[in-house]
Amino acid sequence: MNLAATPDSMLNPASPAAPGIVLDGAATKAAQSAFPVAGSAAASPKKPAFPAPAPIPTQQGPNGIRFDFNDGFRLTVPENHRPWKLRLTDLDTGKVEFETELRAGGIRSHKRYYARYRVELWQPGESVFIHDYSATDREVLIQMPVGTLGDSIGWLPYAVKFAQRHRCKLTCAMGENLISIFRDAYPDIAFLTHEEVKTERYYATYSIGLFFDDKAAHSQPRDFRQVGLHRTAGYILGVDPTEMKPRLAIGNDTRPIAEPYVCISVQSTTQSKYWNNPEGWRGVVAFLKEAGYRVVCIDQKAVHGRGEVWNHMPAGAEDETGDKPLAERIRYLRHAAFFVGLSSGLSWLAWAADIPVVMISGFTHPTNEFNTPYRVINFNACNSCWNDPAIRFDHYDFLYCPRHRATPRQFECTRLITAEQVKTVIRRIPRFGEHDC
């Protein structure tokens, strides 16, 4: 089905049903303003999650035509006494996404994820411009929200796949703390903070995030809750969604502790992510110490919570908490026998460090994270609310439990995971209890 609009029936940019934006000559100034970016799970309510694209399209065609693929396909045309006829086609599906006539102004596709488009422009009696998307040897920006750890660790390999497939000049924008562990591992990729990005440089820009409210599928072709937190990046970028670990580079990779040890992480950002069994961590730490391991807690905080609920580092664990560089966390992880943690960023870092990861989580479904044979979940309790598309997760409510808040079943997803269940999984790790470091 062809989607068409004309300057006489301008489409509302805020309308989720609109297939694109068409602006007449009077609205050219609006066409040159930054187009808003859809919200991300990690976005602050006041600050956008990503830098806005350049005010005007960055690529120049003939006769004053400008276009690019920054945050969707964008095109502007100058005023002309002869009308412009425009068609936008998805080359991989053959579907005509947009077709219209206009005398001046521009359009932007609502789809902001990767698509291999062809744009065609005519004026009466002649073809004026044809361009097929090609990122080869062109500057491409893939940007990720700041303030997250596990998300960007899971997403980066898909950006690498995109660069390899398209042979583009790739820039990745992310948090500065992550740049320090990726830059030397990927010398062919430019890593920048959001503040360092010069948006006018790029032929194409793709924003990777968790778009909870994207019912019209403008920012992601598949709902991340159905395909997995990391694999959503593969769908947004149009590459193979099969998971792949990123490479990590650190300066000091010496063993920090001579004796056999295990790293643990017990803290998280909301209570639903915690292991809420009151005897859980105490039992597992004692079990690990009896098996001959030192137990080292590498959380950022030894105590974390809100209001009347506070979570403490378990008794018997050694305190290596603190606001330390990620490189130091990686050093501890690489030499650990294994890691025990939650659905949180340090579990993703342990996965990338290539050690066995025992993940205790009930609020996420196992498909949400990387594959580990040591995943612990109790399917006989309420579980996987995070991956329920009918639930809009509230990141600002520390005690959020969407199905059972203020009932005896609150947080039962992990409260009903026992220490014995976790110990049973740990015993399956090859060479558990054998010490020859």
| Residue range 184-241, pLDDT digits in tens | 999 999 999 999 999 999 999 999 999 999 999 999 999 999 999 999 999 999 999 9
Query: What is the chain's percent helix, strand, coil content, to nearest 5?
Result: 25, 20, 55
Residue 38: closest CA among 198, 268, 215, 299 = 215
Residues with Cβ within 8 Å of 88's Cβ and at least 6 positions away in sequence, in order, are 20, 73, 96, 97, 98, 99, 107, 109, 117, 118, 119, 120
- For the segment 102-129, the average pLDDT, to the nearest whole number, is 94
Residue 391: closest CA among 379, 400, 381, 380 = 400
Evaluate if residue 176 carries a pLDDT over 90: yes
Tell me which amino acid residue 212 is: F
Map out the domains of the chain as residue ranges: 7-132, 139-237, 261-426
Long-range contacts of 55-58 (CB under 8 A, 24+ apart): 56/31, 56/32, 57/106, 58/199, 58/200, 58/201, 58/202, 58/203
Domain 7-132 sits in CATH at 2.60.40
pLDDT value at residue 24: 34
Evaluate if residue 19 carries a pLDDT over 80: no
- For the segment 369-398, the average pLDDT, to the nearest whole number, is 96
pLDDT value at residue 48: 85
pLDDT value at residue 395: 87
Do the two domains 7-132 and 261-426 of this chain adopt the same fold?
Answer: no
Evaluate if residue 34 carries a pLDDT over 90: no
pLDDT value at residue 46: 62
- Residue-wise pLDDT for 238-295, tens only, equals 999 999 999 999 999 999 999 999 999 999 999 999 999 999 999 999 999 999 999 9
Confirm if 222 and 235 have CB atoms less than 8 A apart. Answer: yes
Q: Which has more pLDDT, 27 or 329?
A: 329
Confidence at 178, pLDDT banded by 50, 70, 90: very high
Class assignment of domain 261-426? Answer: alpha beta
pLDDT value at residue 11: 28
- Residue-wise pLDDT for 55-68, tens only, equals 999 999 999 999 99
Mean pLDDT of the chain: 90
Rounded alpha-carbon distances, angstroms, from residue 149 to 38, 311, 396: 20, 20, 18
Vertex 72 angle, CA 71 and 77, to 5°? 110
Confidence at 390, pLDDT banded by 50, 70, 90: very high
Percent of the chain with pLDDT over 70: 89
pLDDT value at residue 114: 98
Distance CA 343, CA 267 (A): 10
Evaluate if residue 400 carries a pLDDT over 60: yes
- For the segment 12-33, the average pLDDT, to the nearest whole number, is 35
Residue among 68, 151, 214, 299 flagged as catalytic: 151
pLDDT value at residue 10: 26
Evaluate if residue 433 carries a pLDDT over 80: yes
203: left (phi over 0), alpha (psi -120 to 50) or beta: alpha
Reply yes or no on whether 151 is catalytic.
yes
In three-state secondary structure terms, 142 is strand
Percent of the chain with pLDDT over 90: 85
